[in-house]
A and B are shown apart, each in its own frame.
Chain A
Amino acid sequence: GIQVEQSPPDLILQEGANSTLRCNFSDSVNNLQWFHQNPWGQLINLFYIPSGTKQNGRLSATTVATERYSLLYISSSQTTDSGVYFCAVERRRTGFQKLVFGTGTRLLVSP
C-alpha cells in the first residue's frame, strides 16, 4: 500500500513563530487532506489539496504531486494551533482506495 511519512514528528514553537510541516507519499494520489486534531480529539479539515496551493488565514498548503510531497505552513502561530497535524492521501488507482493517514506531527505552541 501507499506509504505516508510526516516530518518532523514533534515540534515546539514560541507563540508568533512560523513553521513548515512536510508530508511525503510513495505513490500518485487523487486526494490529499490536511487535518488538525485538537487536544479534545476532534479532527478538523484544514485543506483538500491533491495539487496546487491554497491559503486560509494564517495557514497555507502546497502539494507538488509530481514530486510526491505536500507542505503545510503555519504563520504567526498561536497556542490554539497546538495539537496533531495529519496528512492523509488516497492512491490514484482504479477501484476503491482508502484514505491513508500519516503518523502525524505533534505541535506545541507555548505562550
Chain B
Amino acid sequence: EAGVVQSPRYKIIEKKQPVAFWCNPISGHNTLYWYRQNLGQGPELLIRYENEEAVDDSQLPKDRFSAERLKGVDSTLKIQPAELGDSAVYLCASSLVGQGTTQYFGPGTRLLVL
C-alpha cells in the first residue's frame, strides 16, 4: 500500500513569490493534516480536513496561506506571498478518521525562502 505522497520534495524561492505544495493521502483515509516543522522543533498543525471540509484551521496564517482539498482526496497548500520566516518543512499526514487514530506522515516538502 502506498504511503502519503508529497511533492515537490524541495523548493527554493525568493521572498514575495508564491509557492504550492501537493499531498495525496493514503487511500481510504478521510482525514488529512498539514503541519509545519521548523528547524529543531516538532511539527505543528496548520490545518485539518475531514473529507473536503476544513474542520480546524485555527493555526493557519490566513493572510498568506490557503489550502484546499477538492473531492476529499488530495490537497494543496499555498503560500502567497512567501516570507523569509516561512522556510521550514511542510508535512502532510492522513488518518482513517479524526481523533484517537494513528496519523501517517509523508516525506515532506523542504521550503527555503531567500
Interface residues of A (CB under 8 A from B): 30-31, 33, 35, 40-45, 48, 50, 86, 88, 90, 96-99, 101-104
Contact = CB atoms under 8 A, between A and B. Distances in A.
Contacts of B104: 45
Interface in B70-110: 89, 91, 98-105, 107-108, 110
Contact of A86 (B42, B48, B98, B100): B42
A97 B55 CA distance: 11
Given A41-B108, A98-B56, A33 B103 contact: yes
Interface residues of B, number: 23
Contacts of A40: 107
Contact of A45 (B42, B56, B102, B107): B102
Contacts, number: 55
A102 to B, nearest CB: 6
Nearest to B55: A96
B48 A98 contact: yes
Contact of B56 (A30, A35, A96, A101): A96
Contacts of A99: 33, 45, 103
A98 B47 CA distance: 10
